[in-house]
Amino acid sequence: MSASFPSAPADWWRSAVVYQIYPRSFADSDGDGIGDLAGARARLDYLADLGVDAIWLTPFYPSPLVDGGYDVADYQDVDPRLGTLQDVDALVLAAHRRGIRVIVDIVPNHTSDQHPWFRAARAAPPGDPARRRYHFHDGSGPDGAEPPSDWRSHFGGSAWERLPDGQWYLHLFSREQPDLNWDDPDVRQYFQDTLRFWADRGIDGFRVDVAHALAKDMSEPLRSQPTLDAALPQDGTDPLYDRDEVHEVYRSWRRVFEEYDPPRMAVAETWAPTNDRTYLYARPTELGQVFDFSLLKSAWSRDSFLGVVRRALADHARHADAGGGLTWVLSSHDVPRHASRLALPPDVAPEDWVRTRGASPRIDLETGRRRARAATLMMLALPGSAYLYQGEELGLPEVPDLPLEALQDPIGRRSDHDLPGRDGCRVPLPWTSTGPTFGFSTGRSWLPQPPSFAPYAADVQTDDPASTLTLYRRAIALRKALQEPDTTVTWLSTDDPGVLHFRRSNGWECLVNFGTVPSELPDGQVLLSSEPLDGGKVPPESTAWFRRPGAE
Ligand code: NOJ
């Protein structure tokens, strides 16, 4: 068993840089073309050099991989393709030795249809207690042949699937991901046991998948909710999302986290814009932190970035007493990578661009590179914690034109590619500029990497002072040196419509130039910039960190 992290301030996560590992695409150790836990362990020195405080591993549990591992068949084991429990222990130990904490994903809204509970439920007749752990329901219409309600799946189509015996079960994601019934005591107990199972192995925290969906109003008649969670009511009255009862679940989880020293941390994934209700999940009596995905949905524009950051800081200040943490995210395994996304015109939705397989509009990768670096430097200058997605430190672009037959994501496959799948941000990392899989595997990579990945390889970038990898390393190190607990941000130069400029309370400043002409810098010492300065000015589409004379 691995020991807990040795010298931990309990609230390390408040200002952490957390690096998201999508294990199947990170590094493969055994040549089967699928990344694994031993591969991740072998790359820990790279992550230590990058300077991250923690890694978050997306699900590595046994899974039929219908949804990239978010269809879990056993919450207390490791998928044999990714390793063993001993590999988890070895990874945690090796990470802790390097001062890196480890967060795992908990998927409590749904299991895989291959989970023993669902197999038993499916085999049992309607009305059998084995079905109570899920949401089984009779259909509507003549002979119950219509779904029980109009609820939609996030992956397209109805959220109900009919079994041959006539009953329907609920799945807010794919039909192979049946939703659990959180009114059932077995379900509650199982997840508490699962949290302890991983915490006992030295896991430092948990990322909670679709945290706002667990509690559902199944009272009759089922209420209409045809719109997914896009426009949630702000009073907890939606039948499926963000119901008040869900908080009791997280209060019980907090009691589990507090059984450990240091207490385990958690971060909630909720797809509603961060607001007063979302912050309820971040209460110190619950999960502590909630993702704010607004930057990940922002186009490259000063007004949209400024709007997001101001709103997030204001939300945070309003809830400061409750203790919730600020978070920032620019890329993840669910959205097109920001080195491509930010090159799009503001009126083009990234999903629509992916739907055209990157053909319309064509993007300029150099523009994307500059903007992505500028956006990252802005994010890393903000108070709070930053969640990085593997490969963004290499400046990797999205791969929107993978061969159709290679695509795996259910969103794309199920809709005949009418809905944009998420494979393009999950392409395995290039570690070396040569070799058939760019050093990812000695076998054949499970998703093909385009030849254009070669110049992004880690080995090309590692000693290049101008590379994106070097920029991330410098920024993370500097941020650590400059970090302070005060989350106050003072806005400066607000009259320049091309510039976003703020000062942290210890005197450090960050200026992002969204405009088309170089922007003047006040006198002072430049600490870091995303592009070389242009005669002392910040070039268009770039960011500089600096300190004025006399500032601490
Ligand atoms: C959110 C995860 O990030 C995503 O990848 C997954 O498909 C859904 N939750 C369902 O678990």
Atom 3 of ligand 1, nearest CA residue = 334
Assign 105 to helix, strand or coil. Answer: strand
Give mean pLDDT, residues 253-270: 96
Location of structure tokens 């994501």 = 409
Q: Which tens digits make up the pLDDT trace of 115-145?
A: 999 999 999 999 999 999 999 999 999 899 9
Query: Average pLDDT, stretch 33-60?
Result: 98
Please name the residue whose Cα sits nearest to atom 6 of ligand 1: 70
Alpha helix stretches (DSSP H) within 428-525: 458-461, 468-482
Query: Ligand 1 site: residues with CB under 6 angstroms?
Result: 67-68, 70, 107, 173, 209-210, 269, 333-334
Contacts of 101 (CB under 8 A, 6+ apart): 5, 8, 12, 16, 53, 54, 55, 95, 204, 205
Nearest ligand 1 atom to the CA of 58 is: 3
d(CA 298, CA 95) in angstroms, rounded, equals 33
Q: Which CATH class is domain 12-108+185-471?
A: alpha beta
Identity (one letter) of the amino acid at 145?
A
pLDDT at 1 over 50: no
- Which residues face 388 on adjacent strands? 19
Helix (H, G, I), strand (E, B) or coil at 497: coil
Label residue 431 left, alpha or beta by phi (over 0 means left) and psi (-120 to 50 means alpha). Answer: alpha
What is the Å distance from ligand 1's center to 268 Cα? 12
The answer, yes or no, to whether residue 325 has pLDDT greater than 80, is no
The whole-chain average pLDDT of the chain stands at: 94
The CA 70 to ligand 1 mean position distance, Å, reads: 6
Least confidently predicted of 15-24, 212-221, 312-321, 373-382: 312-321
Cα 209 to averaged position of ligand 1 atoms, centre (Å)? 7
- pLDDT at residue 100 above 80? yes
Give the residue, out of 67, 75, 240, with the most ligand 1 atoms within 8 A of its beta carbon, to mutate for a pocket test. 67
Closest residue by Cα to residue 273 from 241, 240, 251? 241
- Rounded CA-CA distance 190/182 in Å is 11
In angstroms, the Cα distances linking 9 to 6, 50, 82, 207 are 10, 21, 31, 19
99 C-alpha vs ligand 1 centroid, how far in Å? 28
d(CA 423, CA 25): 11
Does residue 172 have a pLDDT over 60?
yes
Q: What's the CA gap between 84 and 81, in Å, rounded?
A: 9
* CA 74 / ligand 1 centre spacing (Å): 17
For the chain, percent of residues with pLDDT exceeding 70: 97
Is the confidence at residue 75, as pLDDT, over 90?
A: yes
* Reported CATH class of domain 486-547: mainly beta
Ligand 1 centre distance from Cα of residue 59 (Å): 10
Catalytic residues: 209, 259
State the pTM of this model: 0.97
Q: Which atom of ligand 1 is nearest to the CA of 422?
A: 5
For 198, half-sphere exposure in the C-beta direction (CA atoms, 13 angstrom radius) is 31
Supply φ then ψ for residue 290, to 5 degrees: -135, 140
Q: What is the pLDDT of residue 376?
A: 98
Q: How far apart are CA 406 and CA 52, in angstroms?
A: 32
B/e letters for 357-392, b = 16+ CB within 10 Å, e = fewer, are ebeeeebeeebbbbbbbbbbbbbbbbbbbbbbbbbb
**How confident is the model at residue 6, as a pLDDT?**
58
Specify the residue with its C-alpha closest to ligand 1, atom 8.
Answer: 70
pLDDT > 90 in the chain, percent:
84
Q: Is-contact 254 268, C-beta < 8 A?
A: no
Beta carbons within 8 Å of 308's beta carbon, 6+ residues apart: 294, 295, 298
- Taking residues 448-452, report their average pLDDT: 97
Q: Whose CA is nearest to atom 2 of ligand 1?
A: 209
Higher pLDDT, 229 or 472: 472
Report the residue among 20, 25, 70 best suited for mutation to probe ligand 1: largest number of ligand atoms under 8 A from its CB: 70
Architecture of the domain defined by 116-170? Alpha-Beta Complex (3.90)
Pairing of strands 101-106, 508-513: unpaired
Domain ranges, ordered by start, for the chain: 12-108+185-471, 116-170, 486-547
Q: Is the per-residue pLDDT at 164 higher than 90?
A: yes
Residue in 209, 290, 296, 332 to alter for ligand 1 test, most ligand atoms within 8 A of Cβ: 209
The stretch 153-172 carries a mean pLDDT of 95
- Position 235 confidence tier, pLDDT thresholds 50, 70, 90: confident
